Structure 1
Amino acid sequence: MALNSSAKTVQEISFKQKFHCQKCRYRPFAGMNLVFCTVVFFMIFSSAEAYDPLDPFGNITIKWDVMSWTPDGYVAVVTMNNFQLFRHIITPGWTLGWSWAKKEVIWSMVGAQATEQGDCSKFKGNVPHCCLRNPVIVDLLPGVPYNQQISNCCKGGVVASWGQDPAGSVSSFQVSVGQAGSSNKTVKLPKNFTLLGPGPGYTCGPSTIVPSTVFLTADRRRKTQALMTWNVTCTYSQFLASKNPTCCVSFSSFYNDTITPCPTCSCGCRNKKNCIMSNSKELKKGGINTPRKDNIPLLQCTHHMCPIRVHWHVKINYRDYWRVKIAVTNFNYRMNYTQWTLVAQHPNLNNVTQVFSFDYKPLVPYQSINDTGMFYGMKFYNDLLMEAGPFGNIQSEVLLQKNKETFTLKQGWAFPRKVYFNGDECKLPPPDAYPVLPNSARRNPIVLFTLAASALLMILFIS
C-alpha cells in the first residue's frame, strides 16, 4: 500500500533522487548527500552479504584446544563444527589455511596433513612436517592407518550440514606446533584464516580466546579441561562463491499444459562453448566423467546452462490435501552430488503429511514461522545424485494437508518462494511466467456440457 500511495511522488522526483533511493534501499530525505548515501549502501551490503534469512546463524566454527605443552610449543586438537542447517562441504573437501604469528612450525599432524612442507633446511635430524609461514591443511582420506587417525578425522574433507547429520557435521585433526612458546602468555594466536569448501565463498574472522573447553574422559566419569582455547568463525556468501547461481527451478501443474522453464542463462552462459549435447559421441569416450582438479564443470548444453535443475510440479488437488512432485536433474558430467540437500520455502510446508522416497526435516530452530523444510536422500538409496546422464536425476512426491483459509491455486500460490540446492539459492522463473488457472470453459468443457444438459432436462421436466 505504501508503494501505491507514494507512486505519484516517486514519479515526480528527479533521476538523481531515484538513484539515491535505489542504492540506499530507503527513500532519502531531500538534499541527502550522494557520498553519504553511497557509504550507507556499502555498509548495508557488506554486513548482509553473508546473511541468509533461512539460516541466519549458520557458520563454521573452528576451535583450537591446546591439550598439552611441549618444550618449544604445544599439541592442539583443531575441531571444525559446521553449524549450517543445510549447507555442507562436498568432495573434494575442505582446505584450511592460516598465517603464523611468529616463526612457528608444524612438527607433526594426526588426521590431516599440510599440502607442502616448505623450506626446512635449517633443521637437522628431526625435520618438521611443515615449515611454511602460511600452511595449507587438508583432511586425510578414509582408510588411513589407525595410528594416523583421531576422532572425526579422515573423511576426505567432506562435512555434513548440522541440520541433516549433526554427528557428521564435525571434522578434527591434531597438530603439534613448535617454536610457539609454551605457556598461555607466550603463545600467539594464528591469524588470517582461510577456508575453502571446496571452492571459495567462506570469509573467516579473527581468532578469539574463549573459555577453555571441558572434555569428558572415555569412561565419562571425569572431566578434563583444555589448557587454552580459541575460536575462529567462518561465514558463507553465495555472492563471493559465484557471480551466477548454480541451480534453477522450473514449474508445471495439472491445471495447465504449459511448462514454465528455467530462465534462459539462469547460471550464466560463459560455458556455452564448452558444453556437450546429450547425444554427442564424445560422451562415449573414457574419462569423460572424471573430475578435474580445478573443478571446472562439463555441462550438458541447455538454455539455462545450470549444473542443477529443480522441477516443482503441482500434481493433484484433493479435497483436503494436495500433492507435489519434485525432481532434481544433474547436468554436470563431472560431478556426483553426495549428501545433497534441497531446501524449499512455502507457507503450506507447515502441514507436510507424507514425503515419498526423500527424507524431510522442517527447519524451524531460528524461525517463528514453519514455512521452510529440507529434503535429502535416504541413505544407500538416493543420497547420491549421479552425474549427467540416464541416472542423473532423483525425484519424490510430497503430500500436504490444506490450510483452507490460505490454500489457493491462483496467482502461483502453489509454487515455492525460495529453493536452495546444497545451500545455494536457485534462480526462479519470473512470477508472471508461472502456470495460471485457465478459464473454466477451457479448463473443463465436460463440466460445462454437463451443466448445460442438466439445465435442458430441468426445462423439459418443468414444461
Structure 2
Amino acid sequence: MDSRDAFVPLQVQRSPEVMCFCSMRRTHKDHSKWNYCFCSTPATMAITMCTFIISTIQGWDGFDPMDPQANITIKWDLLLSTGSSDTVKVTILNFQKYRHIEAPGWKLGWDWKGKEAISAIFGAEATQQGDCSRFKGQELPHCCDKHPVIIDLLPGAPYNTQFQNCCKGGVLSSMTQDTSKYGASFQISTIGSTASNYSDFVMVENFTLGLPGYTCGQPFEVRPTKIPVDGGRRWTQVLRTWNAVCGYSSFLSSPSPKCCVSMSAFYDSRIVDCPQCSCACQGQPGSKCVQMKETPPLLQQKHDPNEEPPPLVRCTDHMCPIQIHWHVKESYRQYWRVKMTIRNWNIIKNYSQWNMVVLHPNLKNITTVFSFSYASLNDFRTTNDSGMFWGIKYYNDMLLQSGNGGNVQSEMLLAKEPGFSFGGGWAFPRRIMFNGDECVMPQPDDYPRLPNASPLPFVYPFPLSLVFSTFLFLLFFC
C-alpha cells in the first residue's frame, strides 16, 4: 500500500489567530488520518523559527558562557627604534579561567610586511633560521623567515639567553590554577625595517599561536605600556604598543570529542557507561586502538617533540582518551557524598596540570573536597552552579598514561538543601569539561534512578517535514 505524508495548514475554528500544522497520512483508498499537530500564533511561530535559524547559522562555539572574557592576548611593545634596528618585547597572556596550554606549548608566528629579520632574541628561539644570504658579515641574523615561528626556551636554558618570565617550554597555566605562570615573554631585535623612526614603525600581521583551535585577530594599537621600576617608585613607558586577541573553538580544535562521562549511584545497581562511539568507533577509518592485553611498540612510533602526538587509546566502546566517572556514593542525614574518577585511556600521553569543570546546581553547597583543589567559577553567572577541580601539586597534578596509575580520583561532601531529593537525576552534573573541552554525557533517560522510579516520559521526535513546512511558512509570512 503506497502512502505519503502531507502537511496542510489548518485554521482552528475557536481562535482565528492560531495557526496549526498537522501531519496527515493519505492512502490510495482516500482514507486520511491526522498524526501530529503543532499549533501556535503566527507571531510566536515566526519568532521561534527565526531565532532557531539565526542560532544555527551563526557560530556560537567561540563564546563560553562560563568564561565569556576568555582569550589569549599577544602584546607587542616597541621598546627602541633607531631607524636601522628596532627592539621589541613580546608578551603572551593566557586570560582563560580553566583552559591552559600544555606541552609542547605555544608556537608564535607572524608575517613581516617588509624585509625585516630577527638579528637577536632572548627568552625564546625561532624554529628555522631561513635564507639569510642577503645579509653580509661575520654573524648572520637569528631568523630571516618571512613568517618566523618562535618557541619558548626549555627550563634550565643558559642564563645569557633567558628573559623575564621565560623558559617554561611554552606551557601556560590557566588563571585559576596558577596566577604566576599564565604569561610568557621574550625580546627580539630586528633589522631591515624601512621606518625612519618609531612613528613610522610597520606592525606585523597574521599572528598564529600554533595551537589547535585558536584563531588570532589582527593587531590593533593601544595605549603604550607602562613599566614599573625601582619597586614602583618610577614608571617608564614604551614607545608604542599593539595587542592581538586570540580565541578558542572546540570545533576547530578537534572534529570529535575528547572525553566522555559515565555514572553510577548507590541506589541503582546499574553502571551507566559512556555512550557508545562517544569519540570514535572501532573499525572507523582513521580510528586506531590497542587491545587491553596488547603492548604497543612505543619505541617504534615516530614522534616530533615539537608536535602533540595523535591519541592512541585502548579499545573501548566509547574510544575516548579521557573517561570521567561520577558516582553518588552515600547519603547522610544532612550531607551526601560524590566520588569522581578521571581515567586516562591514552597510552602515549600524560596530562600535566589537568583540570575539570563541572556544571551542577548543588556546587554552592560544597563543604569539603578531598584530594583535589577546587574553585568556584561564578564570576559571570547569577547562580553558583559551576566549579573547577584540578590536581594538587606534586601529588596528583599529573594524570599518567593508560595503565595502573592512569587515573586520579577524589570525593566531595555536599550539604543537603530543604527539599533535597535524588529523584529525576538531580544528583548528576549537567555539563563536564576536561581541559576546556566538552565531554559527551549519557542521555537523561539512562541516568541512574531511584527504586520504583519511572523513566522520563518519552517525547515523540519532531517530524522533519513539519520543520520544513514551518520554514516555508516563514518565507511567506515573516
TM-score, structure 1 as length reference: 0.84
Residue range with higher mean Cα deviation, 66-75 or 106-115: 66-75
Q: Which amino acid aligns with 1:237?
A: S
Q: Which of 256, 270, 280 is the aligned partner of 1:268?
A: 280
Give per-residue Cα distances to partners, 1:211-243, cap 9 Å, x unaligned.
011111153321111111000000000011011
The answer to whether the 8 A contact 2:83-2:197 is kept is no
Q: Which amino acid aligns with 2:380?
A: Y
Distance between the aligned counterparts of 1:7 and 1:202, measured in 2? Answer: 47
Correspondence for 1:84: 96
Correspondence for 1:356: 370
Distance between the aligned counterparts of 1:30 and 1:353, measured in 2? Answer: 42
- Aligned pairs for 1:177-196 within 5 A: 177-180=190-193, 181=195, 183-196=197-210
2:58 partner SS: helix
More strand by share: 2
Correspondence for 2:149: 136
Correspondence for 2:335: 321
Judged with a 3 Å threshold, the aligned counterparts in structure 2 of structure 1 residues 395 and 29 are, in CA distance, closer, same or farther, namely: closer
Correspondence for 2:255: 243
Correspondence for 1:21: none
Q: Which of 380, 383, 387 is the aligned partner of 1:369?
A: 383
Judged with a 3 Å threshold, the aligned counterparts in structure 2 of structure 1 residues 8 and 386 are, in CA distance, closer, same or farther, namely: farther
Correspondence for 1:72: 84
Q: CA deviation at 1:29?
A: 6.6
Judged with a 3 Å threshold, the aligned counterparts in structure 2 of structure 1 residues 77 and 182 are, in CA distance, closer, same or farther, namely: farther
Correspondence for 1:22: none
Correspondence for 1:28: 46
1:347 partner SS: coil
Distance between the aligned counterparts of 1:133 and 1:401, measured in 2? Answer: 59
Give the superposed CA RMSD. Answer: 2.5
Correspondence for 2:186: 173
Correspondence for 1:110: 122
Give per-residue Cα distances to partners, 1:6-31, cap 9 Å, x unaligned.
99946569xxxxxxxxxxxx953799
Q: Which amino acid aligns with 1:133?
A: K
Identity of counterpart residues, as a percentage? 48
Distance between the aligned counterparts of 2:384 and 2:179, measured in 1? Answer: 21
Distance between the aligned counterparts of 1:10 and 1:358, measured in 2? Answer: 53
Q: CA deviation at 1:289?
A: 9.0
Q: Which amino acid aligns with 2:104?
A: P
Correspondence for 1:53: 65
Does residue 75 of structure 2 align to residue 63 of structure 1? yes
Judged with a 3 Å threshold, the aligned counterparts in structure 2 of structure 1 residues 273 and 85 are, in CA distance, closer, same or farther, namely: closer
1:219 partner SS: helix
Judged with a 3 Å threshold, the aligned counterparts in structure 2 of structure 1 residues 272 and 191 are, in CA distance, closer, same or farther, namely: closer
The answer to whether the 8 A contact 2:311-2:348 is kept is yes
Does residue 240 of structure 2 align to residue 228 of structure 1? yes
Distance between the aligned counterparts of 1:232 and 1:412, measured in 2? Answer: 44
Residue range with higher mean Cα deviation, 177-186 or 253-262: 177-186
More helix by share: 1
The answer to whether the 8 A contact 1:101-1:188 is kept is yes
The answer to whether the 8 A contact 1:193-1:204 is kept is yes
| Residues matched between the structures, number | 412
Unpaired runs of at least 5, structure 2: 1-16, 25-43, 454-478
Give per-residue Cα distances to partners, 1:3-58, cap 9 Å, x unaligned.
xxx99946569xxxxxxxxxxxx9537999xxx997x457522xx22111111110
Correspondence for 1:461: none
Q: CA deviation at 1:314?
A: 0.5
Distance between the aligned counterparts of 2:68 and 2:346, measured in 1? Answer: 30
Correspondence for 2:217: 205
Q: CA deviation at 1:96?
A: 1.1
Does residue 159 of structure 2 align to residue 146 of structure 1? yes
